[in-house]
Structure formats: C-alpha cells, structure tokens
Amino acid sequence: MHLPDGFISVPVAATTGVIAVTAIAVAVRVTNKKIGEKQVPMMGVLAAFIFAAQMLNFPVAGGTSGHFVGAALAAILLGPWTAVLIMSSVLVVQCVIFQDGGLLALGANITNMAIVSVFISYYIYKGIYLMFGKSRTGLLAGAGIGAWFSVVFAALACAFELVISGTSPWEIAIPAMGGIHMIIGVGEALITVAVLSLVMATRSDLLKLQVT
C-alpha cells in the first residue's frame, strides 16, 4: 500500500523520513564497500525489473487483482542492503513519476516496503535456510515464509502509521490491513517460491549473488 500525502501526520512523516534516510545512507555505504559503484548499471536494471514485475497482476477474489511486491525476492537474491537501495529507488520513481505514494509520505513508504519488509523477510529466510542445513527445501520454505511475513509486516507498519496519525481507529485499521494482507501475502509467498525454483533450475549461479 503506497501511502499518499495527507494520510499521515507530520511527526509520523518526519520520524519515518529519518529512518529511511539513515537506512539508505547505510545501504549506500555497505554496497559501495562490497560491490563497488561499478555494479550500479546492474542495480538499476534490477530496480527496473522489480518495477516491471509489479505491473504483472493476477486475479484475487471478486474482480479485484493483486500484484507482486518483490521485497523478499530482492532481499534473498541480492542481500538486504542492496535490496533496500533497489526497493527505495523503485519507490522514489513511483512517487515522483506516477504519484504512487506521496512525497512527504515517501519516508513512511520506504520504511514499510523497503526496510521493514526487506529485513523481516531476509532474517526469517536466513533462519529457516540455516535450520534446514542449507538445503533446497530450506531455501524455498524460508523464502515463502519470509515473503508472507514481509507483506503482512509492511501492511501492519502502514496501519500503525495511519493509527498514530489519527487517520483511522486502531481497532479497525490493524485487523483490516493485517487480515487482507495475510491473504495477499500467500500470493506473494507462492510467487516468490516459484520464481526462486525457476532461477535455481535455470541459473542457480545467480543465487550466490548475495553481497552482504
């Protein structure tokens, strides 16, 4: 959910803005050190990939459709800090070009969809992957569960911001946003697993990309 401007209060926007700026600054430093600025073209193309993948929608229930978010996939394929950079650039472009999400609310959107969802999914994935002894099953299970949590937690963070801003009452916003995204998250999980199994079958070398 890309929050537009006017839905969150200035203190919430300021706090999440500081979180987003700090995370991007750290991500720039980490990725500079690990892969160097030389990989910038690749990261740009992959950001465009996330953008294009989000355009592919699938029918949900009752004529509505959902689309893939990709934070978990980016985190698993590229490592969390690179994923933070890529997801943030997708969100900035969506904001300034397509008005998908507000300018003052950009910090909140980056916090929800490029920070919370990336790190939640990455550490859940990593934990399950190691628990299963780095097997194929562990990788796919971890990716699926991580992807589900990434969507649910991004939605909860969004609901939480709306509640703090006084735009919606908590007793309805949190169960509604959380509930809907528990269903949407299943789609995200299934797609992430399918993408990863295809990548493993065709170019398994790409799974060793992780830079952090």
Which range of residues in 114-122, 128-136, 149-157, 189-197 is near other proteins by CB under 8 A? 189-197
Cβ at position 170, least distance to other proteins in Å: 10
Q: Using CB under 8 A, which of 19, 34, 48, 123 touches other proteins? A: 48
Least CB distance to other proteins at residue 130 (A): 24
Applying CB under 8 A, the span of 48-56, 112-120, 122-130, 145-153 interacting with other proteins comes to: 48-56
The one segment of 107-115, 133-141, 146-154, 193-201 that binds other proteins by CB under 8 A:
193-201
Per CB under 8 A, 18 contacts other proteins: no
Is residue 31 a contact residue for other proteins (CB under 8 A)?
A: yes
Binders in 92-121 for other proteins, by CB under 8 A:
92-93, 95-100, 102-104
Kindly determine how many residues on this chain lie close enough to bind other proteins according to the rule CB under 8 A. 77
* C-alpha–C-alpha distance, residues 74 and 199, integer Å: 13
Q: Does 90 bind other proteins (CB under 8 A)?
A: yes
Burial class (CB in 10 A: 0-12, 13-18, 19+), 190: middle
CA distances from 11 to 105, 115, 199 (A): 11, 19, 42
Residues in 126-165 at the binding interface with other proteins, rule: CB under 8 A: none
How far apart are CB 166 and other proteins at their closest, in Å? Answer: 7
Nearest distance from C-beta of residue 123 to other proteins, angstroms:
22
| Residue 58, beta-bridge partner list | 66
Stretch that binds other proteins, among 122-130, 131-139, 145-153, 200-208 (CB under 8 A): 200-208
User: Of 67, 65, 185, 164, nearest to 111 (Cα)?
Assistant: 164
